[in-house]
Structure 1
């Protein structure tokens, strides 16, 4: 008889007393709380279950009864599926559970003004539950008469906290807190966790026959529009109109953000599409052409040359052409292509502040900057040893980034003394970017002799 015993010999110290342990996997339909797959506690503190799966590759995870209480890595972050190639005979696997996603770890990087709104927010359109995070501006509690714009984001595990992320976080909370100190009036951010194995389905509007996945994107967007947004607008001091409502995501999250823009122009006036997976649902091109977008929508498209050997850049350029040919005004599209851009969270974290500021610049107030960018001057140019930055002290927390002509970042730092030592660089053409806080305020081509 085929019997496989899974024995958990160690649990995290913060495992709540009295909680049951379950196994969910490919052998039982991925049900996180099936009673038939609840482990039994042994006298020595270990937990075990014996199952009878078919031989072959098994995928599984341990939970405490739901996907919100699934096991994680030692920091409470995302842990890929466990795998085991089962022979079909009696076997014993002794395993350790390192952490739980809902309990996090001691290395949380989320700011104090980030919280979990609900561990189990119901999605009626899909009949499932999901963790929802919320970021409130630093002055939210002290400014009871202030109302705020709102940005909805996907892959909530990766938005604020390194310890719950799969491969790094976007640092949205740190970026917005810095911008607030620079004079930005603030923004509420609502981040929705992805559904792990359900992510592809939920973030794809159309079914992809090759990958046998997708098709729940419409229902997922309806959840945001019909259920989540009304809840947020009713319980927090928001500016609910489309000019103050944005949506943003990367990869498949970029795809579904674009789809939301097309389907609900009355809701989303600001859209950030980072490294979009248009290739997974190429129907998005015709759908965009056939459904003109509100002309006052602002769309920020980002792609890196290191993504898919340049294919993501090609897809973004194609989408820009579709939009322009359909009559969408060029002034309302910002396309940013980076030579060093990779399909990674570090890239999206770096680019978030500029995208946020561009999207909301027509409704932002109170940003303290010089009235004219030309007040800041870089000289001499050409240079051989030092680049002087005139009036850099007029900016708050000025910093710089210097890249070569291929876009590779060579130098960066704070402008404490209003000059940059370039004596160690070879002669050539370079691109200098100077920022106030995290916002780029000037980009200039520099020649070093």
Structure 2
């Protein structure tokens, strides 16, 4: 049987099918995948960035337009990081900027306050990452001049809707009113604000949640000292960390008493109307109640509850008088002595001031001026009590008087008016301003120079409240020299660089005070 030959068209079709047999079809090409790649932008923002900030990457290429057409919005990742993933064309140099559009319109500035120029990116591989840091935010025209940024990190126990404030020693900080300036919520579980001060302004402040009842505490619930900062006149940040809040419970500081310490409780004046008070007495190493032949000089100090026991100290910080005295006596650097700490009362202001000052009616409504009564109590009632109970040297040259702030003022005053009782004075950070500098007037009015050995000092960072200042203390020093005291002999004047008006600063120099007033014999 004869088979017919296939037609030419059939042959060509069979040939084509044979050529295609075993070949997989190729997927259609996707121009986007070939020409674009994913890029993640991670931006580290300054710590004062509002937590609800809206940040955009803005560029001329359509890839930066985003769904809103205004830019690619970055998402807050926690900490100080905002991120966004963009699909950008490959091998093409693109320019972009970062902007904050809310809560206010600002751009990235460099450390000098100049707007940062547009950045560039060129994509080569898929899933690339681009990271950069914003130094600070400001207007497009840049920002120069003094700007102090406060960053307050709060503990996790802080209520999420809490208001956080700063209160401090300047009008911008409320002059210690408990709620001077309100902070806004910033990134990284912090609060922030920006204020402007003149260069060289000494700041002292604390964080609160709107009142002193909610003031910051340490993580253990203990008192914390004032935060301090001296402005430089440019852009600067001040960062603090709050450990806890007063209304969440507090823990008393540990009681550390060194050496032999005794107390007189509820000592009452019968010669004056002064309120009763406690007295703390530190006895030197080797003191023996049965040894009636060895006698010791005595230093009386004001604000007794702040001297040796942190549990009674007003701000949870003590001078460390007991530890310092114990160490110096044992080392032979100080003559063995007895230290008597006289507690203050709610009438501290009136008792520690020699004249009224109508500018300060808040001093118990009495404007001050009861120092003579206080001096009578010390010299005519307490001192005889101490001399009877302990083995003391009773003469004026063996008896000292010391204190800080208003305590320094009253030490100077009582030294002049009762020099027959007190011959050694520790005039520490004195409140010379009181009564229109009345203490200087009284020094200049002395008819005869009393036999007083005087330590006088001031810290260079005490002037933030406009009261205890270097200038006033220098004026007191000049007045003393003018009345015959000799520097380096019976007068020692010291300006402590960087020292503030607080217990920590006074504790740091108490050893020097003691060595000058009671050198070893």
CA gap of 1:178–1:265, structure 2 versus 1, over 3 A, is same
Among 236, 260, 263, the residue aligned to 2:417:
263
Mark the CA change 1:107 to 1:356 in structure 2 (over 3 Å): closer, same or farther.
Answer: same
- CA distance 1:255–1:335, shift in 2 (3 Å): same
Aligned to 1:423: none
Query: In the TM superposition, what are the counterparts of 1:23-62 in structure 2 within 5 Å?
Result: none
Counterpart in the other structure of 1:129: 276
Alignment of structure 1 residues 348-387 onto 2, 5 Å: 348-361=506-519, 364-365=520-521
Q: Report how many aligned residue pairs link the two structures.
A: 271
Of the three residues 496, 500, 507, the one matched with 1:338 is: 496
Distance 1:140 1:222, change over 3 A: same
Aligned mate of 2:434, from 280, 292, 313: 280
Q: What is the distance in 2 between the residues matched to 1:360 and 1:292?
A: 27
Evaluate the alpha carbon distance shift between residue 242 and residue 339 of structure 1 in structure 2; reply closer, same or farther with a 3 A threshold: same
Q: Which residue of 2 aligns with 1:109?
A: 256
* 2:312 is the alignment partner of 1:160: no
Q: Secondary structure at the match of 1:321?
A: helix
Aligned position for 1:324: 481
Tell me the distance in 2 between the aligned counterparts of 1:193 and 1:293: 32
Tell me the CA shift for residue 106 of structure 1.
7.5
Note closer, same or farther for the CA distance 1:264–1:295 as it changes in structure 2 (3 Å cut).
Answer: closer
Shift of 1:170: 0.7
Report deviation, 1:222.
1.0
For the residue of structure 1 that corresponds to 2:311, the secondary structure is helix
The 1:97–1:188 alpha-carbon spacing in structure 2 relative to 1, beyond 3 Å, is: farther
Deviation at 1:258, TM superposition (A): 0.4
Q: Does the aligned pair in 1 maintain the 2:263–2:279 contact within 8 Å?
A: yes
Structure-1 separation of matches of 2:477 and 2:492: 9
Contact 1:295–1:329 under 8 Å retained in 2: no
Aligned to 2:348: 199
2:253/2:310 contact within 8 Å kept: no
The aligned runs of 1:201-216 (5 Å cut-off) are 201-212=350-361, 213-216=367-370
The offset of 1:146, in angstroms, is: 1.4
Shift of 1:267: 1.1
CA separation of 1:208 and 1:264: change in aligned 2, threshold 3 A:
same
* Residues 238/75 of structure 1: CA separation in 2 closer, same or farther (3 Å cut): farther
2:455 alignment partner, one of 293, 300, 303: 300
Partner of 2:190: none
Aligned match for 2:318, one of 145, 151, 169: 169
1:229 matched to 2:386? The reply is no
SS in 2 for 1:285: helix
Structure 2: which 5+ runs fail to align? 1-211, 214-219, 225-245, 362-366
What's the RMSD between the two structures over aligned residues? 2.8
Mark the runs of 5 or more structure 1 residues left unpaired by the alignment.
1-58, 61-73, 79-94, 366-449
Distance of aligned partners of 1:187 and 1:98 in 2 relative to their CA distance in 1, 3 Å threshold: farther
- C-alpha contact (below 8 Å) 1:77/1:163 kept by paired residues: no
| 1:60-97 CA distance string (max 9 Å, x none) | 9xxxxxxxxxxxxx99999xxxxxxxxxxxxxxxx999
What's the offset of the Cα at 1:294? 4.2
CA shift in 2, pair 1:236/1:97, >3 Å: farther
Distance 1:127 1:162 in 2: 25
CA pair 96-342 structure 1, distance change in 2 beyond 3 A: closer
Structure 2 equivalent of residue 375 of structure 1: none
Change (3 A) 1:328 1:140: same
Q: Give secondary structure in 1 for the equivalent of 2:300.
A: strand
| Structure 1 residue 347, shift from structure 2 partner | 0.9
Q: CA deviation at 1:142?
A: 7.0
1:128 shift after superposition: 2.1
Cα 1:117–1:270 shift into 2, 3 Å:
same
TM-score (norm 1): 0.56
Q: How does 1:426-437 map to 2 (within 5 A)?
A: none
Contact 1:292–1:326, Cα closer than 8 Å, also in 2: no
Distance 1:127 1:344, change over 3 A: closer
- The residue number in structure 1 matching 2:288 is 141
| Selected match of 1:252 from 388, 406, 409 | 406
Q: What is the SS of the residue equivalent to 1:123?
A: coil
How far the C-alpha of 1:126 sits from its partner, in A, is: 2.2
**Alignment partners' CA distance in 1, 2:502 and 2:382:** 27
Change (3 A) 1:127 1:254: closer
Would you say the 8 A contact 1:278–1:315 is kept in 2? yes
TM-score if structure 2 supplies the norm length?
0.49
The secondary structure found in structure 2 opposite 1:131 is strand
1:186 aligns with 2:341: no
Task: Report deviation, 1:269.
Answer: 1.0
For the residues of structure 1 that align with 2:458 and 2:247, how far apart are their CA atoms? 39
